[in-house]
Amino acid sequence: MKSFSLRYSLFTIIFLLISNNLFAQASFNTGEFAVTLNEYGRIRLYAPDTTAIENRQLERMSLLVSGKLFQVFDYQNDADTEEPTINVENPQNSDHEIYGSYNNYYSAEPPEILQKMNVYGWDGGKYILVKNTIINRDNGGLNSIIGMDIIPYLDYAYGFDTVSYDASNNLIRSHRGGTNLGYKLLSHNLKSMHAFEWYDGYTLDNDYWSWLNYSQIDQQYVSTTVDGPVIIIAQNSASIDKGDSLIVYYAVALGANEQEMLESMQDAEEKYNLLTDIKDKTALVPDKVILNQNYPNPFNPTTVINFGLPEKSNVEIKVYNLLGQQVANILNKSLPKGMHSVEFNASNLPSGIYIYSLKSENNLLTKKMTLLK
């Protein structure tokens, strides 16, 4: 937490206590899951659906933005309030929405950026979407790596939890016992994930810089102390011209076990697809072949399958029943690199669970989908 003594004089403390604005934050609950976003851009999650400390599952999720060598914008050292954090009245894109914006004026150290954050939630859901719009206010262009600093607090306790990378679903999960908390970068390619044991003073720019440039994904980290893990996630670097912006989406999902978390994450991805109206993103080139979950799912009778190619390739997409019999050949053609989508019409098939596969050069990826009539 930010140093209270550095931020406020005694007079300011008294004034804020009187005005009841101390520790201002906004929150919502979905009936399954509660979320808070504070005045400097820190997300916390709770389950069940109250914000009591004994229900906390995520201590902090906050933005990292690299600038020039050893310059990093972070929540702990740099973030200050630009626009108050508020609950959006009558949200248009979700059942619940929190908005706030944050600058670097607390430290006045580069990079000079403006962070606009939207947190979306839906009734009955154990997931959120986090949208960060990063605006470059620096004197010149930024070649920046965007990341997240995450501290889990599973089942209201630090320590002895495991951080794992799920390659098949391209997500990171924290887990201890049954409880699973998943984090997924939706809008860009995941470049790296590094986990380590929390220690006092880990939030130095030099260290953040090194972790953002880690360039590999730890497959698993097991916490061995009561301090617990810190997770640093980063995407590929991007150029942001002065005055321009970059939008980054994450999903966070909670489950009483891994399968429940994955189902919640799938729900979050479907909301993301709907929110961003994904059709065909040829401008976004993945660094490996990817196959996304179809949307909608379950479906009747049509659904859309999104996939990505790192280079031009011949692609085959087929559908099989649970007996392994091919029931449809959706696509067989050469496509350019980038993100693509194809629609599948199952009007001639009975209800049930089906497997769809993508074959491309030396890659074969599969996922399940459910047809309900």
Q: What is the pLDDT along the chain (373 residues), one digit of tens a residue?
A: 344 333 444 444 434 433 344 457 999 999 999 999 999 999 999 998 777 888 999 999 999 999 999 999 999 999 999 999 999 999 988 999 999 999 999 999 999 999 999 999 999 999 999 999 999 998 888 999 999 999 999 999 999 999 999 999 999 999 999 999 999 999 999 999 999 999 999 999 999 999 999 989 999 999 999 999 999 999 988 889 888 899 999 999 999 999 999 999 999 999 998 888 644 444 467 889 999 998 888 999 988 898 989 988 999 999 999 999 999 999 999 888 888 888 899 999 999 999 999 999 889 999 999 999 8
Q: Is residue 137 part of a domain?
A: yes
* C-beta separation of 139 from 132 below 8 A: no
User: 162 with 29, same domain?
Assistant: yes
- Give the CATH number, domain containing residue 324: 2.60.40.1930
**Which pLDDT belongs to residue 295?**
81
pLDDT the model gives residue 278: 46
Report yes or no: 96 and 74 within 8 Å, Cβ to Cβ: no
What pLDDT score was predicted for residue 185?
Answer: 98
What residue numbers bound the domain in which 88 lies? Answer: 25-276
In DSSP notation, 278-334 reads: -S--TT---SS-EEPPPBSSSBSSEEEEEEEESS-EEEEEEEE-TTS-EEEEEEEEE
CA 176 to CA 174: how far, in whole Å?
7
Q: Are 61 and 130 in contact (CB under 8 A)?
A: yes
Sign of the four-CA dihedral 281, 182, 210, 201: positive
Q: Which of 276, 303, 334 is the last residue of a domain?
A: 276
Contact 130, 100 (CB under 8 A): no
47/37 Cα distance (integer angstroms): 15
Nearest 5°: phi and psi at 303?
-150, 160
Say if residue 304 is in the same domain as residue 169: no
Tell me the C-alpha to C-alpha distance, in Å, between residue 80 and each of 39, 84, 105, 281.
Answer: 8, 10, 6, 34
The answer to the question of residue 343 being in a domain is yes
Tell me: do 145 and 112 sit in the same domain: yes
Q: What is the C-alpha to C-alpha distance for residues 360 and 289, in angstroms, rounded to an integer?
A: 8
How many whole angstroms separate alpha carbon 231 and alpha carbon 174? 9
Do 145 and 231 share a structural domain? yes
**What is the structure's pLDDT at 282?**
45
Query: Which residues, listed in sequence order, are joined to residue 318 by a DSSP beta bridge?
Result: 329, 357
Residue 161 shares a structural domain with residue 241? yes
Which residues 6+ apart lie within 8 Å of 154 measured at CB? Answer: 57, 161, 174, 175, 176, 179, 181
pLDDT confidence of residue 336: 84
| 298: in domain | yes
Instruction: Note whether residue 14 is domain-resident.
Output: no
Give me the number of domains the chain comprises.
Answer: 2
Q: Determine the Cα–Cα distance for residues 102 and 336; give it in Å rounded to an integer.
A: 39
Q: Do 144 and 181 sit in the same domain of this protein?
A: yes
Domain ends where: 226, 250, 276?
276
Tell me, yes or no, whether 234 lies in a domain.
yes
Residues 34 and 125 in one domain: yes
> Residue with structure tokens 């309900």?
372
Do 268 and 296 lie in one domain? The reply is: no
Determine contact, residues 31/123, Cβ cutoff 8 Å: yes
- My answer on whether 137 and 72 are in the same domain is yes
**258, 300: one domain:** no
Distance, in Å, from the CA atom of 183 to the CA atom of 235, rounded to the nearest integer, reads 13
Residue 335 forms part of a structural domain: yes
- Provide the 10 A C-beta neighbour count for residue 306: 20
At 5, is the secondary structure helix, strand, or coil? helix
Distance CA 282, CA 284 (A): 5
User: Could you tell me the CATH number of the domain that includes residue 176?
Assistant: 2.70.98.10
Please check whether residue 186 lies inside any domain of the structure: yes
Q: Looking at the structure, do residues 91 and 139 belong to the same domain, yes or no?
A: yes
Do 153 and 179 touch, CB atoms closer than 8 A?
Answer: no
Does residue 13 form part of some domain?
Answer: no
Contact 35, 44 (CB under 8 A): yes
Does 357 lie in the same domain as 228? no
Q: Are strands 302-309 and 190-197 parallel, antiparallel or unpaired?
A: unpaired
